[in-house]
Homo-oligomer: A and B are copies of this chain.
């Protein structure tokens, strides 16, 4: 468990290394450039970190040429912050300008590539969004006849899936803060407390532990289990016999933890205890399977075999875990369709879930880093039996 507070940010060397690795893959794929519009990708190559992305008003662009540093094409309001990054070439405009929100700047930048009928990578695959108005994108492409646009989703995902030591340090730290927060839940939550107060108490505790923010918190509490893991909290007070689940994505320096814990309020019924035990053991199987060379499908099947002892429906919340980093959920997916081979320094969630009774569900989740020796837990392992508050 990390106890010291890591340094914020990254060295310029780290950004240079990320860029160099990207350019090697771009050369392999015959890409003359990579056009990026989304927060994690912009941050990955530049270090540009701001919550200002929450405003939908302004698009932000980074272009990675085949060699040299990335180029930023951004609203003037971000210039001061971007100038502190390792970039040299920062082009700005006075956004918002609805009839030309960076499009002229992008057209000027890309015109030479279009003239050479070059191939440019854009992320347009699974789990991606083009973060600019579709109309602007259509205008941009129309203004650049000859430019070939290729899907570079897997190229960028392949890079981002493998974390650097500095990234792992941040992830370990936010997981340790999350563990410390969960450990305090029995002290800050009590019978009779409305769910929305539980959420507020949890968020305040996480901040007291030192997280930067608590952007993701879902949970539920119902008699003997819960039905739904994505709803906002209601005012229903915690009652004897409830199973309470809290699942949180906390952040520190722009990196997420993503794990949950379950508790019984007052008393745990047999079925809930059994579901908990199955999921705890499924997670153990996941921990044993998460080693370099195995695939995400292997992880899915290993956890699934234990789950099937109790729940033969095969119904899951879609997958049994995923990548973790600058986003709450990243590639890969522990699912039957995902043949990604596990590699050292992947940071993953193990997230077995099952259904029981009349539409009840239960979810466990831990966060790990894959090492040469197998899984290393970043979270403090959940208790082997359903804890009672």
- Residues of A in contact with B (beta carbons under 8 Å apart): 8, 49-52, 54-58, 75-78, 80-81, 94-99, 101, 122, 124-135, 137-138, 151, 153, 196, 199-200, 203-204, 207-208, 210, 212-218, 227-232, 234-235, 249, 254, 317-319, 322, 327-329, 333, 335, 337, 359
Tell me whether A126 and B230 are in contact in the complex, defined as CB-CB below 8 angstroms, given that A54-B328, A207-B200 are known contacts.
no
The answer to whether B122 touches A56 (Cβ under 8 A) is no
Could you tell me if A318 and B76 are in contact, using CB atoms closer than 8 angstroms?
A: yes
**Pick from B51, B58, B137, B329: contact of A217, CB under 8 Å:** B51
CB distance from A176 to the nearest CB of B (A): 17
Instruction: With both chains docked as a complex, state the minimum distance between the C-beta of A106 and any C-beta of chain B, in angstroms.
Output: 16
Contact B125 A135 (CB under 8 A): yes
Whole-angstrom CA separation of A52 from B122 in the bound complex: 25
Q: Which residues of chain B are near A227, meaning CB under 8 Å?
A: 80
The 8 residue pairs across chains A and B that have the minimum distance between CB atoms = A124-B134, A124-B135, A98-B126, A52-B230, A55-B329, A80-B228, A50-B230, A130-B134
Query: How many copies, total?
Result: 2
Complex alpha-carbon distance, A358 and B53, angstroms: 27
**How far is it, in angstroms, between the C-alpha of A78 and the C-alpha of B218 when the chains are bound?**
13
How far, in angstroms, from A126 to B204 measured CA to CA in the complex? 37
B50 touches A232 (CB 8 A): yes
Which of B52, B94, B228, B229 is in CB contact (< 8 Å) with A218? Answer: B52
Which residues on B sit within 8 Å (CB–CB) of A208? 200, 204
A127 to chain B, nearest CB (A): 5
Q: Pick from B78, B126, B213, B322: contact of A203, CB below 8 A.
A: B213
Residue of B nearest to A131 (CB): B129
What is the CA–CA distance of A335 and B94 in the complex, to the nearest angstrom? 11
User: Told that A127-B133, A204-B207, A212-B232 touch, could you supply 16 new A-B pairs with CB distance under 8 A?
Assistant: A49-B232, A51-B232, A55-B329, A56-B327, A57-B127, A77-B230, A81-B228, A97-B337, A124-B134, A125-B133, A128-B134, A129-B130, A196-B212, A199-B212, A203-B213, A232-B254
Contacts of A212 in B (CB 8 A): 196, 199-200, 232
Closest to A228 in B: B80
Q: How far is the CB of A52 from chain B (nearest CB, A)?
A: 4
User: By the criterion CB–CB under 8 Å, are B230 and A78 in contact?
Assistant: yes
A51: which B residues are within 8 A, CB to CB?
A: 215-218, 230, 232
Asked whether A50 lies within 8 Å of B135 as measured between CB atoms, the reply is no
Q: Are A94 and B232 in contact, with the CB atoms below 8 A?
A: no
Q: Which residues of chain B are within 8 angstroms of A52 by Cβ–Cβ distance?
A: 218, 230
23 contacts between A and B (CB under 8 A): A8-B235, A50-B231, A51-B215, A51-B232, A54-B215, A54-B249, A55-B328, A57-B322, A77-B229, A77-B230, A77-B317, A95-B318, A96-B319, A97-B337, A98-B337, A99-B337, A124-B138, A125-B133, A128-B134, A129-B130, A130-B134, A196-B212, A232-B254
